[in-house]
A and B are shown apart, each in its own frame.
Chain A
Amino acid sequence: MVMAEPTELAVVRDRLATVHDPEIPTVSIVDLGLVHDVRVDHGRIEVELLPTFVACPALEVIRSTTAEALAGLGRPVDVSFTFAVPWTTERLTPAGRIGLRRAGIAPPSERSAVRCPFCDSAEVAMDSAFGPTLCRSLFYCRGCRQPFEAFKPI
């Protein structure tokens, strides 16, 4: 077995940080906590990702975008999804939480701790646990009087 140079693994990780959720352009799949495992051995690059929600329709897009980002490194690329560990909201990095706010989406919190991503008011109310995508809920901010979305804690 030929082990990859550490630098090669670093290159793969750098490239993964350029892949974004198709619906949240401000958050990379790394900061979203989707990357479960990265291996560069047996002459291949293997990446295992975690689905946020089992039925997320963006999975295939994320898989192919990830494979494209890793093309051209001189090795075959294999990107797959696994349930080895459940994706949970705790997997979001601090940068991921900031990125969500920049996209106008409140990062996941207990319902009582959700704050408006626009004006940071805590005077918010949940309209519905179900929003435009499986991973988001609908809220309304009484501070700036705007509806907003919040990432669903899971």
Chain B
Amino acid sequence: MTDFAGLEPIAMDFSGAGGGRERALALLLLSMADDEFVIGFSDSEWTGIGPILEEDVAISSLAQDELGHAQALYRLFVDVVADGRDADAVAYDRPPDGYIHARLLDHPRGDWAWTIARRWLYETADAARLAALAETSYEPLRQLVDKLRREERYHEMHVDAWLERLAGGGAEPRRRLEAALTAMGPDAGTVLAPLPGELALVRHGILAEPFAAIEARWRAVTSTRLIGLGLAALPPTTDPDHARSGHSDAFRVLHADFTMVRRSEVGATW
């Protein structure tokens, strides 16, 4: 189980969220929002320098989608927590250790093969998570998930086509792809690591099944795809107890970047 002890006071003073169900729901929403926010911001670094023009446009669209999804999820989070903060305050006003995105997203965007590998690992895991929320009993989330899945379908098609292209694109693309998958594979499962209180989520019909079951199915499907492309199956997740804490230096640099405007003029409306 992910250890949130160190960051509870900073990240999640859920004073308005009550116990049990609300607290677990808030944690689920924040973890999803932070995942989308961090990968969206990180991938937006490609805008203007994508490998070809169409891809520059595509990755910028994908990043924009993720940031919009993060915003919608942060809004659901602040509705549950109801502590007076708005979505922007949650997105920008926490210190780096207050974020609970998965360790997979602590890696920098790297080169293009690295970005594709990270996106593929993330998108497949995110799709599995959204599928487990398709019939959620929390109606605002059910409505949003219905919408998100229609958009994410394009993300999955895009990144899977790129995975195949790099895997079969000759020695250099393949070498880079394999290096990225080897480096990030042990962190891929962190997106679907168990969350504190998730049994309450399952009991209340918010989440279809525990994350361990979602992860197992995702692992089987992704490994089949990787092996089909002549790539190695994913290794087990290392240090699953710190799946969403102890962030990297690369994330601290990213955090300094994405909070810069907000910090430069406190209280301003941009």
A129–B153 Cα distance when bound, in Å, is 11
Q: Which residues of B contact A127 (CB under 8 A)?
A: 54
CB distance from B194 to the nearest CB of A (A): 27
Q: Which residues of B contact A83 (CB under 8 A)?
A: 72, 140, 143-144, 146-147
A154–B157 Cα distance when bound, in Å, is 13
A9–B144 Cα distance when bound, in Å, is 29
Binds B, one of A20-28, A41-49, A51-59: A51-59
Which residue on chain A has the smallest CB distance to residue B67?
A: A55
Contact B158 A129 (CB under 8 A): yes
Contact B150 A86 (CB under 8 A): yes
Known A-B contacts A53-B65, A55-B71; A128 and B147 likewise in contact (beta carbons under 8 Å): no
A83–B157 Cα distance when bound, in Å, is 24
Chain B interface size, as a band, is: 20 to 34
Q: Mark B129-165, 1 if CB is under 8 A from A, else 0.
A: 0000000000010011011101100100110000000
CB contacts under 8 Å to A, within B32-84, are 54-55, 57-58, 61-62, 64-69, 71-72
Contact B151 A154 (CB under 8 A): yes
CB distance from A65 to the nearest CB of B (A): 19
CB distance from A3 to the nearest CB of B (A): 27
Of B54, B62, B148, B154, which contacts A54 at CB under 8 A? B148
Contact A134 B64 (CB under 8 A): yes
Q: Tell me whether A130 is interfacial, beta carbon within 8 Å.
A: yes
Give chain B's interface residues, CB within 8 Å of chain A: 54-55, 57-58, 61-62, 64-69, 71-72, 140, 143-144, 146-148, 150-151, 154, 157-158
Interchain Cβ contacts under 8 Å between A and B, 26 examples: A53-B65, A54-B65, A54-B71, A54-B72, A55-B68, A56-B68, A82-B143, A83-B140, A83-B144, A84-B143, A85-B143, A86-B147, A88-B150, A128-B54, A128-B55, A128-B57, A128-B58, A129-B154, A129-B158, A130-B54, A130-B57, A130-B58, A130-B61, A130-B158, A131-B57, A152-B154
Give chain A's interface residues, CB within 8 Å of chain B: 51, 53-57, 82-88, 127-132, 134, 138, 152, 154
